[in-house]
Amino acid sequence: MRIFGRTLLSGLAALASLGAMAQEITDTSSETDIRYVTDVIFTPIRTGPGGDYRIINKGLRSGTAVTFHGITDDGVWAEVETKGGTRGFVRAQYLQTEVPRANQLNILEAELAASKDRAATLQQNLNEAMEQLTSSDSDMSSTATALAETRAELDEIKRISANAIQLDQLTKELTGKLEDASARNDLLTLENARLEDRVASNQHLQGALSVIAGILIALLIPRLTMKRRRNDGWR
């Protein structure tokens, strides 16, 4: 059993340097078929503290965690209980309070795998963030372009609006002038009509005067002729 325990300790020590040895062997014998000596040890559980008691568990693998219930007076046998509920005795020399290096290595490997998974997740998140950032930059560029176009349209609208205001003012001025001209035309039309009425009145008056003058002449000429005749006869 002492040899068995020494083999266990040697196996645990060898496990610590396994990585470095594997690296060296890989570097020096990359084309060689490599094999490793196993350090798996199975410890049986018996019904009592002695080798003559019945085995109730064929063996616990190295690094198996058990519940410790006590040790015999001679310190050779320890009473333990497995997670499955099997309770019995094993040699105390096969128990230790520290976590075996193999278990520590497994824990570290599990943590390393979890860290790799976490790193992969973070890398994926980073890639997605970079894609979103690139998309955001593209959206910002598109927005800036649209803003520049909108500003240009606004400036054009302002220019057109200014021209429209000027045109409206000019239209109002021309409309006012046209209204003034129309009013003057109406006044001139009225004055013309008055003048035409005066001319017509004057023509009627002249005609009447001419008629009267003709009548007077027609009345006066015979009298003057008779008067001359009389005067000629008197002589």
Give me the tens of pLDDT residue by residue for the chain, a chain 235 residues long.
443 344 444 444 444 444 444 444 444 444 556 555 455 678 889 999 998 999 998 888 888 889 999 999 999 999 999 988 999 999 988 888 887 776 667 778 888 888 888 888 999 888 888 888 887 777 777 888 888 888 888 888 888 877 778 777 877 887 888 788 788 888 888 888 888 888 777 777 777 788 887 787 777 777 667 666 665 554 5
Residues in the chain, overall count: 235
The residue extents of the domains of the chain are 2-97, 98-201
Question: In the CATH scheme, what is the code of domain 2-97?
Answer: 2.30.30.40
